[in-house]
Structure 1
Amino acid sequence: MPRTAIKGQALADFLLEFDSDVDDKALVVLQPPRNEESLEEFPHPWWILHVDGVVNNGGAGAGIVLVSPEGHHLMTAIHFKFYVTNNDAQYEALINGLKIALEMGVRNLITRSDSELVVNQVNGGFQTQGPRTELYLRCTQLLIEKFQVVRLECISREKNSNADALAKMGSQQEAVLLGSILLEIQKIPSIPEIEAMQVDETPKEIWMSPLLAYIHKGTLHEDKFKARRLHYQAARYVVYDEILYKRGFNQPLLRCVDEEEGNYI
Protein backbone atom coordinates (compact mmCIF):
# COMPACT_ATOMS: atom_id res chain seq x y z
CA MET A 1 0.00 0.00 0.00
CA PRO A 2 1.43 3.44 -0.89
CA ARG A 3 1.94 5.52 2.25
CA THR A 4 0.88 8.85 0.78
CA ALA A 5 0.13 10.42 4.17
CA ILE A 6 3.71 9.95 5.34
CA LYS A 7 5.05 11.29 2.05
CA GLY A 8 2.94 14.43 2.43
CA GLN A 9 4.09 14.92 6.02
CA ALA A 10 7.73 14.53 4.97
CA LEU A 11 7.27 17.26 2.37
CA ALA A 12 5.76 19.59 4.93
CA ASP A 13 8.60 18.92 7.40
CA PHE A 14 11.14 19.58 4.65
CA LEU A 15 9.63 22.99 3.84
CA LEU A 16 9.48 24.00 7.50
CA GLU A 17 13.08 22.93 8.13
CA PHE A 18 14.52 25.25 5.45
CA ASP A 19 13.28 28.61 6.66
CA SER A 20 13.15 31.65 4.44
CA ASP A 21 13.10 35.40 4.96
CA VAL A 22 9.46 35.68 4.02
CA ASP A 23 7.30 36.65 7.00
CA ASP A 24 4.10 35.04 5.78
CA LYS A 25 4.85 31.36 5.36
CA ALA A 26 2.35 29.09 3.62
CA LEU A 27 2.33 25.74 1.87
CA VAL A 28 1.18 26.45 -1.65
CA VAL A 29 0.31 23.81 -4.20
CA LEU A 30 1.49 25.04 -7.55
CA GLN A 31 -0.70 24.31 -10.56
CA PRO A 32 0.21 24.85 -14.19
CA PRO A 33 -1.66 27.70 -15.86
CA ARG A 34 -4.83 26.59 -17.56
CA ASN A 35 -5.27 27.17 -21.23
CA GLU A 36 -8.55 27.29 -23.12
CA GLU A 37 -8.57 23.52 -23.69
CA SER A 38 -8.17 22.68 -19.99
CA LEU A 39 -10.95 25.12 -19.08
CA GLU A 40 -13.28 23.34 -21.45
CA GLU A 41 -12.23 19.92 -20.21
CA PHE A 42 -14.69 19.87 -17.26
CA PRO A 43 -17.03 22.82 -17.86
CA HIS A 44 -19.91 21.33 -15.84
CA PRO A 45 -20.12 21.51 -12.03
CA TRP A 46 -19.69 18.45 -9.83
CA TRP A 47 -22.66 16.68 -8.24
CA ILE A 48 -22.43 14.20 -5.34
CA LEU A 49 -24.44 10.97 -5.23
CA HIS A 50 -24.89 8.83 -2.09
CA VAL A 51 -26.39 5.36 -2.56
CA ASP A 52 -27.09 2.41 -0.29
CA GLY A 53 -29.01 -0.87 -0.50
CA VAL A 54 -30.51 -2.88 2.37
CA VAL A 55 -32.01 -6.37 2.72
CA ASN A 56 -33.70 -7.25 6.02
CA ASN A 57 -36.67 -9.15 7.40
CA GLY A 58 -39.08 -6.45 6.24
CA GLY A 59 -37.94 -6.61 2.62
CA ALA A 60 -35.38 -4.93 0.40
CA GLY A 61 -34.88 -1.30 -0.51
CA ALA A 62 -32.48 1.36 -1.71
CA GLY A 63 -31.69 4.89 -0.61
CA ILE A 64 -30.47 7.62 -2.96
CA VAL A 65 -29.31 11.14 -2.09
CA LEU A 66 -28.29 13.43 -4.96
CA VAL A 67 -26.60 16.67 -3.87
CA SER A 68 -26.39 19.58 -6.31
CA PRO A 69 -23.39 21.95 -6.47
CA GLU A 70 -25.52 24.52 -4.61
CA GLY A 71 -26.13 22.05 -1.76
CA HIS A 72 -29.73 21.04 -2.55
CA HIS A 73 -30.63 17.43 -1.65
CA LEU A 74 -32.84 15.24 -3.82
CA MET A 75 -33.76 12.15 -1.75
CA THR A 76 -35.38 8.97 -3.07
CA ALA A 77 -36.35 5.69 -1.40
CA ILE A 78 -37.04 2.55 -3.44
CA HIS A 79 -38.84 -0.61 -2.36
CA PHE A 80 -38.02 -3.80 -4.30
CA LYS A 81 -40.86 -6.21 -5.02
CA PHE A 82 -38.52 -8.95 -6.25
CA TYR A 83 -35.91 -11.15 -4.62
CA VAL A 84 -32.48 -9.56 -4.26
CA THR A 85 -29.35 -10.33 -2.30
CA ASN A 86 -27.48 -7.67 -0.36
CA ASN A 87 -25.02 -7.15 -3.24
CA ASP A 88 -27.90 -6.97 -5.72
CA ALA A 89 -29.55 -4.27 -3.60
CA GLN A 90 -26.31 -2.27 -3.60
CA TYR A 91 -26.09 -2.51 -7.38
CA GLU A 92 -29.77 -1.59 -7.77
CA ALA A 93 -29.21 1.49 -5.61
CA LEU A 94 -26.20 2.52 -7.69
CA ILE A 95 -27.97 1.94 -11.02
CA ASN A 96 -31.08 3.86 -9.98
CA GLY A 97 -28.95 6.68 -8.62
CA LEU A 98 -27.08 6.96 -11.91
CA LYS A 99 -30.37 7.02 -13.80
CA ILE A 100 -31.69 9.85 -11.62
CA ALA A 101 -28.47 11.81 -12.16
CA LEU A 102 -28.80 11.39 -15.93
CA GLU A 103 -32.39 12.63 -15.79
CA MET A 104 -31.16 15.73 -13.94
CA GLY A 105 -28.63 16.40 -16.70
CA VAL A 106 -25.58 15.75 -14.53
CA ARG A 107 -22.28 15.46 -16.40
CA ASN A 108 -19.63 15.30 -13.63
CA LEU A 109 -20.55 13.05 -10.73
CA ILE A 110 -18.90 11.86 -7.51
CA THR A 111 -20.65 8.67 -6.39
CA ARG A 112 -20.21 7.40 -2.83
CA SER A 113 -21.24 4.01 -1.47
CA ASP A 114 -20.42 2.03 1.67
CA SER A 115 -20.26 -1.27 -0.26
CA GLU A 116 -16.56 -2.05 -0.69
CA LEU A 117 -17.36 -5.02 -2.92
CA VAL A 118 -19.46 -3.08 -5.44
CA VAL A 119 -17.07 -0.11 -5.53
CA ASN A 120 -14.04 -2.31 -6.19
CA GLN A 121 -15.85 -4.38 -8.80
CA VAL A 122 -16.91 -1.28 -10.74
CA ASN A 123 -13.44 0.29 -10.40
CA GLY A 124 -11.82 -2.95 -11.57
CA GLY A 125 -10.17 -3.97 -8.29
CA PHE A 126 -12.31 -7.07 -7.67
CA GLN A 127 -13.49 -9.73 -10.10
CA THR A 128 -17.16 -10.58 -10.42
CA GLN A 129 -18.48 -14.04 -9.66
CA GLY A 130 -21.64 -15.34 -11.26
CA PRO A 131 -23.57 -14.29 -14.37
CA ARG A 132 -26.04 -12.16 -12.37
CA THR A 133 -23.29 -10.00 -10.89
CA GLU A 134 -21.70 -9.64 -14.32
CA LEU A 135 -25.00 -8.33 -15.71
CA TYR A 136 -25.26 -5.79 -12.89
CA LEU A 137 -21.66 -4.68 -13.51
CA ARG A 138 -22.21 -4.33 -17.25
CA CYS A 139 -25.41 -2.32 -16.71
CA THR A 140 -23.54 0.00 -14.32
CA GLN A 141 -20.68 0.48 -16.79
CA LEU A 142 -23.08 1.36 -19.61
CA LEU A 143 -24.66 4.08 -17.46
CA ILE A 144 -21.27 5.46 -16.39
CA GLU A 145 -20.25 5.81 -20.04
CA LYS A 146 -23.07 8.33 -20.54
CA PHE A 147 -21.45 10.79 -18.13
CA GLN A 148 -18.45 12.97 -18.81
CA VAL A 149 -16.64 12.01 -15.58
CA VAL A 150 -17.73 9.66 -12.78
CA ARG A 151 -15.69 9.03 -9.63
CA LEU A 152 -16.84 6.10 -7.49
CA GLU A 153 -15.65 6.23 -3.88
CA CYS A 154 -16.10 3.88 -0.92
CA ILE A 155 -16.98 5.57 2.36
CA SER A 156 -17.92 4.37 5.83
CA ARG A 157 -21.53 3.72 6.78
CA GLU A 158 -21.44 6.63 9.25
CA LYS A 159 -20.71 9.03 6.39
CA ASN A 160 -23.48 7.45 4.33
CA SER A 161 -26.15 7.64 7.04
CA ASN A 162 -28.75 9.55 4.99
CA ALA A 163 -28.77 7.01 2.17
CA ASP A 164 -28.76 4.17 4.71
CA ALA A 165 -31.82 5.60 6.50
CA LEU A 166 -33.67 5.97 3.20
CA ALA A 167 -32.79 2.39 2.23
CA LYS A 168 -34.16 1.07 5.52
CA MET A 169 -37.33 3.10 5.04
CA GLY A 170 -37.75 1.75 1.53
CA SER A 171 -37.22 -1.86 2.65
CA GLN A 172 -40.41 -1.76 4.75
CA GLN A 173 -43.44 -3.06 2.94
CA GLU A 174 -45.69 -0.33 4.38
CA ALA A 175 -43.29 2.55 3.90
CA VAL A 176 -44.84 6.03 3.76
CA LEU A 177 -43.75 9.31 2.28
CA LEU A 178 -41.97 11.63 4.69
CA GLY A 179 -42.25 15.21 3.52
CA SER A 180 -40.56 15.68 0.15
CA ILE A 181 -38.97 12.22 0.09
CA LEU A 182 -40.05 10.29 -2.96
CA LEU A 183 -40.91 6.59 -2.54
CA GLU A 184 -40.80 4.36 -5.59
CA ILE A 185 -41.87 0.74 -6.03
CA GLN A 186 -39.67 -1.32 -8.33
CA LYS A 187 -41.29 -4.58 -9.45
CA ILE A 188 -38.64 -5.99 -11.80
CA PRO A 189 -34.81 -5.97 -11.65
CA SER A 190 -32.76 -3.48 -13.61
CA ILE A 191 -31.08 -6.34 -15.46
CA PRO A 192 -32.73 -8.93 -17.73
CA GLU A 193 -33.66 -12.24 -16.22
CA ILE A 194 -31.16 -15.03 -16.76
CA GLU A 195 -32.59 -17.68 -19.05
CA ALA A 196 -32.36 -21.08 -17.44
CA MET A 197 -31.78 -24.09 -19.65
CA GLN A 198 -34.26 -26.92 -19.32
CA VAL A 199 -32.54 -30.05 -18.08
CA ASP A 200 -33.61 -33.39 -19.46
CA GLU A 201 -34.43 -35.46 -16.41
CA THR A 202 -34.83 -38.67 -18.39
CA PRO A 203 -32.32 -41.18 -16.99
CA LYS A 204 -29.71 -42.31 -19.49
CA GLU A 205 -27.94 -45.62 -19.74
CA ILE A 206 -24.39 -45.42 -18.41
CA TRP A 207 -21.81 -48.06 -17.54
CA MET A 208 -23.11 -48.21 -13.95
CA SER A 209 -26.72 -48.86 -14.93
CA PRO A 210 -26.40 -52.67 -15.35
CA LEU A 211 -24.45 -52.90 -12.07
CA LEU A 212 -27.07 -50.93 -10.15
CA ALA A 213 -29.91 -52.92 -11.71
CA TYR A 214 -28.24 -56.20 -10.72
CA ILE A 215 -27.31 -55.07 -7.19
CA HIS A 216 -30.75 -53.59 -6.44
CA LYS A 217 -33.07 -55.94 -8.37
CA GLY A 218 -30.91 -58.85 -9.49
CA THR A 219 -31.54 -58.02 -13.16
CA LEU A 220 -29.20 -59.87 -15.55
CA HIS A 221 -28.56 -59.57 -19.25
CA GLU A 222 -30.23 -62.02 -21.59
CA ASP A 223 -26.86 -63.02 -23.01
CA LYS A 224 -25.40 -65.69 -20.73
CA PHE A 225 -21.81 -64.55 -21.33
CA LYS A 226 -22.64 -60.90 -20.42
CA ALA A 227 -24.73 -62.04 -17.47
CA ARG A 228 -21.87 -64.14 -16.08
CA ARG A 229 -19.40 -61.28 -16.52
CA LEU A 230 -21.82 -58.86 -14.80
CA HIS A 231 -22.22 -61.34 -11.94
CA TYR A 232 -18.47 -61.41 -11.24
CA GLN A 233 -18.10 -57.65 -11.84
CA ALA A 234 -20.84 -56.78 -9.34
CA ALA A 235 -18.95 -58.62 -6.60
CA ARG A 236 -16.30 -55.86 -6.70
CA TYR A 237 -18.80 -53.04 -6.04
CA VAL A 238 -21.08 -52.00 -3.20
CA VAL A 239 -23.86 -49.41 -2.86
CA TYR A 240 -23.77 -47.15 0.19
CA ASP A 241 -26.26 -44.28 0.58
CA GLU A 242 -27.34 -44.71 -3.05
CA ILE A 243 -23.73 -44.26 -4.21
CA LEU A 244 -21.80 -47.00 -6.02
CA TYR A 245 -18.36 -47.74 -4.53
CA LYS A 246 -15.62 -50.08 -5.72
CA ARG A 247 -14.15 -52.34 -3.06
CA GLY A 248 -10.48 -52.03 -2.14
CA PHE A 249 -7.98 -54.89 -2.39
CA ASN A 250 -7.74 -55.27 1.38
CA GLN A 251 -11.53 -55.57 1.86
CA PRO A 252 -13.45 -58.88 1.68
CA LEU A 253 -15.82 -59.40 -1.21
CA LEU A 254 -19.14 -59.62 0.61
CA ARG A 255 -22.68 -59.59 -0.69
CA CYS A 256 -25.86 -59.35 1.32
CA VAL A 257 -29.17 -60.77 0.19
CA ASP A 258 -32.52 -59.23 1.02
CA GLU A 259 -34.36 -62.19 2.55
CA GLU A 260 -37.82 -60.72 1.93
CA GLU A 261 -37.46 -59.97 -1.79
CA GLY A 262 -34.50 -62.18 -2.59
CA ASN A 263 -32.59 -59.33 -4.28
CA TYR A 264 -28.96 -58.46 -3.86
CA ILE A 265 -28.37 -55.18 -2.01
Structure 2
Amino acid sequence: LPLLAAPKPQEELIMYLSATHGAISAVLLTERGTAQTPVYFISRALQGPKLNYSPMKKLVLSLVFAAKRLRRYFQAHPIAVITDQPIKQVMSRPDAAGRLQKWSIMLGEHNITYIPRTSIKGQILTDFLNEIPNNASQGASVAGTQEEPWTLFTDGSSCVDGSGAGLILTNPDGVEFTYALRFQFAASNNEAEYEALIAGLRIATQVGVKNIQANVDSKLVANQVLGTYVAKEDNMIKYLEIAKGLV
Protein backbone atom coordinates (compact mmCIF):
# COMPACT_ATOMS: atom_id res chain seq x y z
CA LEU A 1 0.00 0.00 0.00
CA PRO A 2 1.29 3.49 -0.74
CA LEU A 3 1.78 5.84 2.15
CA LEU A 4 0.07 9.05 1.05
CA ALA A 5 0.60 11.06 4.26
CA ALA A 6 2.61 10.23 7.37
CA PRO A 7 0.63 10.59 10.61
CA LYS A 8 2.29 12.11 13.64
CA PRO A 9 2.90 9.93 16.73
CA GLN A 10 -0.36 9.31 18.64
CA GLU A 11 -2.23 11.68 16.32
CA GLU A 12 -5.96 10.98 16.09
CA LEU A 13 -6.80 9.55 12.68
CA ILE A 14 -10.13 9.76 10.89
CA MET A 15 -11.80 6.90 9.05
CA TYR A 16 -14.63 6.83 6.54
CA LEU A 17 -16.29 3.55 5.59
CA SER A 18 -18.19 2.39 2.53
CA ALA A 19 -20.17 -0.76 1.74
CA THR A 20 -21.79 -1.64 -1.56
CA HIS A 21 -23.36 -4.91 -2.65
CA GLY A 22 -20.08 -6.40 -3.83
CA ALA A 23 -17.31 -4.54 -2.02
CA ILE A 24 -16.25 -2.90 1.23
CA SER A 25 -13.83 0.01 1.49
CA ALA A 26 -12.25 2.33 4.02
CA VAL A 27 -10.13 5.45 3.90
CA LEU A 28 -7.86 6.55 6.75
CA LEU A 29 -6.99 10.24 6.97
CA THR A 30 -5.22 12.84 9.04
CA GLU A 31 -6.94 16.13 9.83
CA ARG A 32 -4.78 19.19 10.28
CA GLY A 33 -6.57 22.50 10.39
CA THR A 34 -9.21 22.45 7.67
CA ALA A 35 -7.43 19.86 5.53
CA GLN A 36 -8.05 16.12 5.56
CA THR A 37 -5.25 14.17 3.91
CA PRO A 38 -5.49 10.45 3.02
CA VAL A 39 -3.10 8.05 4.73
CA TYR A 40 -4.35 4.78 3.26
CA PHE A 41 -7.13 3.54 1.00
CA ILE A 42 -8.19 -0.09 1.28
CA SER A 43 -10.86 -2.04 -0.56
CA ARG A 44 -11.94 -5.65 -0.83
CA ALA A 45 -14.42 -7.46 -3.06
CA LEU A 46 -17.02 -9.56 -1.26
CA GLN A 47 -17.55 -13.17 -2.22
CA GLY A 48 -19.72 -16.11 -1.19
CA PRO A 49 -21.92 -15.74 1.92
CA LYS A 50 -20.62 -12.22 2.61
CA LEU A 51 -22.54 -10.98 -0.44
CA ASN A 52 -25.73 -11.79 1.46
CA TYR A 53 -24.81 -9.78 4.55
CA SER A 54 -27.15 -6.92 5.40
CA PRO A 55 -25.92 -3.42 4.41
CA MET A 56 -25.23 -2.60 8.06
CA LYS A 57 -23.31 -5.83 8.61
CA LYS A 58 -21.21 -5.10 5.52
CA LEU A 59 -20.40 -1.66 6.92
CA VAL A 60 -19.27 -3.18 10.22
CA LEU A 61 -17.25 -5.71 8.22
CA SER A 62 -15.48 -2.84 6.44
CA LEU A 63 -14.36 -1.52 9.84
CA VAL A 64 -13.22 -4.98 10.94
CA PHE A 65 -11.31 -5.39 7.68
CA ALA A 66 -9.67 -2.00 8.18
CA ALA A 67 -8.73 -2.80 11.79
CA LYS A 68 -7.03 -6.02 10.69
CA ARG A 69 -5.35 -4.62 7.58
CA LEU A 70 -4.19 -1.42 9.28
CA ARG A 71 -3.61 -2.94 12.69
CA ARG A 72 -0.42 -1.01 13.44
CA TYR A 73 -2.27 2.28 12.94
CA PHE A 74 -5.19 1.17 15.09
CA GLN A 75 -2.72 0.17 17.82
CA ALA A 76 -0.70 3.39 17.69
CA HIS A 77 -3.44 5.97 17.15
CA PRO A 78 -6.93 6.81 18.38
CA ILE A 79 -9.35 6.31 15.50
CA ALA A 80 -12.43 8.48 14.93
CA VAL A 81 -14.94 6.75 12.66
CA ILE A 82 -17.07 9.38 10.94
CA THR A 83 -20.41 7.77 10.17
CA ASP A 84 -24.11 8.46 9.78
CA GLN A 85 -24.92 4.85 10.66
CA PRO A 86 -25.45 3.41 14.20
CA ILE A 87 -22.47 1.06 14.06
CA LYS A 88 -21.67 1.22 17.79
CA GLN A 89 -25.28 0.69 18.80
CA VAL A 90 -25.69 -2.30 16.49
CA MET A 91 -22.62 -4.05 17.91
CA SER A 92 -23.47 -3.27 21.55
CA ARG A 93 -27.04 -4.60 21.45
CA PRO A 94 -27.62 -7.43 23.96
CA ASP A 95 -29.17 -9.58 21.22
CA ALA A 96 -26.30 -9.04 18.76
CA ALA A 97 -25.56 -12.18 16.76
CA GLY A 98 -22.42 -14.20 17.44
CA ARG A 99 -20.41 -12.75 14.57
CA LEU A 100 -21.27 -9.16 15.49
CA GLN A 101 -20.43 -9.90 19.11
CA LYS A 102 -17.06 -11.33 18.08
CA TRP A 103 -16.33 -8.27 15.96
CA SER A 104 -17.31 -5.99 18.83
CA ILE A 105 -14.81 -7.70 21.14
CA MET A 106 -12.06 -7.49 18.51
CA LEU A 107 -12.69 -3.80 17.83
CA GLY A 108 -12.87 -3.16 21.58
CA GLU A 109 -9.11 -3.70 21.75
CA HIS A 110 -8.60 -0.37 20.01
CA ASN A 111 -9.32 3.25 20.91
CA ILE A 112 -12.20 3.83 18.50
CA THR A 113 -14.80 6.56 18.77
CA TYR A 114 -17.81 7.08 16.53
CA ILE A 115 -18.65 10.62 15.45
CA PRO A 116 -21.91 11.55 13.68
CA ARG A 117 -21.25 12.73 10.17
CA THR A 118 -23.20 15.96 9.87
CA SER A 119 -21.03 17.39 7.11
CA ILE A 120 -17.96 16.61 5.03
CA LYS A 121 -14.95 18.91 5.19
CA GLY A 122 -14.04 19.36 1.56
CA GLN A 123 -14.30 16.42 -0.81
CA ILE A 124 -12.63 13.36 0.69
CA LEU A 125 -13.43 10.55 -1.69
CA THR A 126 -16.77 10.73 -3.41
CA ASP A 127 -17.34 7.00 -2.95
CA PHE A 128 -17.62 7.60 0.80
CA LEU A 129 -20.36 10.23 0.59
CA ASN A 130 -22.86 7.36 0.69
CA GLU A 131 -21.76 4.76 3.23
CA ILE A 132 -24.60 2.42 2.30
CA PRO A 133 -25.82 3.41 -1.17
CA ASN A 134 -29.34 2.48 -2.24
CA ASN A 135 -27.94 0.89 -5.39
CA ALA A 136 -24.59 0.23 -6.98
CA SER A 137 -24.69 3.32 -9.17
CA GLN A 138 -25.22 5.81 -6.35
CA GLY A 139 -22.43 8.17 -5.35
CA ALA A 140 -19.79 9.84 -7.46
CA SER A 141 -18.49 6.75 -9.15
CA VAL A 142 -18.34 5.98 -12.85
CA ALA A 143 -19.25 2.44 -13.85
CA GLY A 144 -19.18 0.65 -17.18
CA THR A 145 -20.73 -2.75 -17.88
CA GLN A 146 -22.24 -5.14 -15.35
CA GLU A 147 -19.07 -7.21 -14.92
CA GLU A 148 -17.52 -7.31 -11.45
CA PRO A 149 -16.07 -3.81 -11.03
CA TRP A 150 -12.50 -2.77 -10.46
CA THR A 151 -12.01 0.18 -8.12
CA LEU A 152 -9.79 3.18 -8.78
CA PHE A 153 -8.78 5.67 -6.08
CA THR A 154 -6.86 8.77 -7.11
CA ASP A 155 -5.14 11.49 -5.11
CA GLY A 156 -3.62 14.30 -7.15
CA SER A 157 -2.00 17.27 -5.48
CA SER A 158 -0.03 20.41 -6.21
CA CYS A 159 2.59 21.89 -3.89
CA VAL A 160 5.70 24.04 -3.97
CA ASP A 161 7.81 20.98 -4.75
CA GLY A 162 5.75 20.11 -7.83
CA SER A 163 2.66 18.15 -8.77
CA GLY A 164 2.04 14.44 -8.50
CA ALA A 165 -0.55 11.76 -7.92
CA GLY A 166 -1.08 8.42 -6.26
CA LEU A 167 -3.28 5.70 -7.77
CA ILE A 168 -4.68 2.51 -6.31
CA LEU A 169 -6.35 0.13 -8.76
CA THR A 170 -8.07 -2.84 -7.13
CA ASN A 171 -9.39 -5.86 -9.03
CA PRO A 172 -12.59 -7.76 -8.07
CA ASP A 173 -10.53 -10.22 -6.01
CA GLY A 174 -9.17 -7.41 -3.85
CA VAL A 175 -5.66 -7.43 -5.34
CA GLU A 176 -4.25 -3.90 -5.33
CA PHE A 177 -1.98 -2.28 -7.91
CA THR A 178 -0.39 0.98 -6.81
CA TYR A 179 1.21 3.74 -8.84
CA ALA A 180 2.94 7.03 -8.06
CA LEU A 181 3.09 9.79 -10.68
CA ARG A 182 5.22 12.91 -10.85
CA PHE A 183 4.26 15.56 -13.39
CA GLN A 184 6.90 17.48 -15.31
CA PHE A 185 4.78 20.63 -15.33
CA ALA A 186 3.01 22.89 -12.86
CA ALA A 187 -0.59 21.85 -12.22
CA SER A 188 -3.39 23.07 -9.99
CA ASN A 189 -5.00 20.59 -7.59
CA ASN A 190 -7.93 20.04 -9.96
CA GLU A 191 -5.59 19.58 -12.93
CA ALA A 192 -3.57 17.08 -10.90
CA GLU A 193 -6.79 15.23 -10.05
CA TYR A 194 -7.75 15.04 -13.72
CA GLU A 195 -4.25 13.84 -14.62
CA ALA A 196 -4.51 11.15 -11.95
CA LEU A 197 -7.98 10.07 -13.08
CA ILE A 198 -6.97 9.93 -16.74
CA ALA A 199 -3.79 7.98 -15.94
CA GLY A 200 -5.77 5.50 -13.85
CA LEU A 201 -8.41 5.01 -16.54
CA ARG A 202 -5.73 4.52 -19.20
CA ILE A 203 -3.99 1.89 -17.10
CA ALA A 204 -7.33 0.14 -16.57
CA THR A 205 -8.02 0.21 -20.31
CA GLN A 206 -4.60 -1.24 -21.08
CA VAL A 207 -5.23 -4.26 -18.84
CA GLY A 208 -8.68 -4.84 -20.33
CA VAL A 209 -10.91 -3.57 -17.52
CA LYS A 210 -14.52 -3.21 -18.72
CA ASN A 211 -16.16 -2.02 -15.49
CA ILE A 212 -14.52 0.46 -13.15
CA GLN A 213 -15.65 2.63 -10.26
CA ALA A 214 -13.44 5.71 -10.19
CA ASN A 215 -13.19 7.77 -7.01
CA VAL A 216 -11.50 11.16 -7.00
CA ASP A 217 -10.46 13.61 -4.31
CA SER A 218 -11.99 16.67 -6.00
CA LYS A 219 -15.62 17.73 -5.87
CA LEU A 220 -15.17 19.76 -9.05
CA VAL A 221 -13.70 16.88 -11.05
CA ALA A 222 -16.25 14.36 -9.75
CA ASN A 223 -19.22 16.55 -10.59
CA GLN A 224 -17.88 17.57 -14.00
CA VAL A 225 -17.47 13.91 -14.97
CA LEU A 226 -20.95 13.11 -13.65
CA GLY A 227 -22.41 16.07 -15.51
CA THR A 228 -23.56 17.91 -12.39
CA TYR A 229 -21.13 20.76 -13.01
CA VAL A 230 -20.36 22.36 -16.37
CA ALA A 231 -16.69 22.71 -17.31
CA LYS A 232 -16.06 26.33 -18.30
CA GLU A 233 -12.29 26.82 -18.42
CA ASP A 234 -10.56 25.60 -21.58
CA ASN A 235 -8.18 23.32 -19.68
CA MET A 236 -11.03 21.74 -17.69
CA ILE A 237 -13.04 21.20 -20.89
CA LYS A 238 -10.10 19.38 -22.50
CA TYR A 239 -9.50 17.24 -19.42
CA LEU A 240 -13.20 16.38 -19.21
CA GLU A 241 -13.31 15.32 -22.88
CA ILE A 242 -10.33 13.00 -22.38
CA ALA A 243 -11.74 11.51 -19.17
CA LYS A 244 -15.17 10.89 -20.68
CA GLY A 245 -13.55 9.28 -23.69
CA LEU A 246 -12.01 6.69 -21.37
CA VAL A 247 -15.17 5.88 -19.39
TM-score (norm 2): 0.43
More strand by share: 2
Structure showing greater Rg: 1
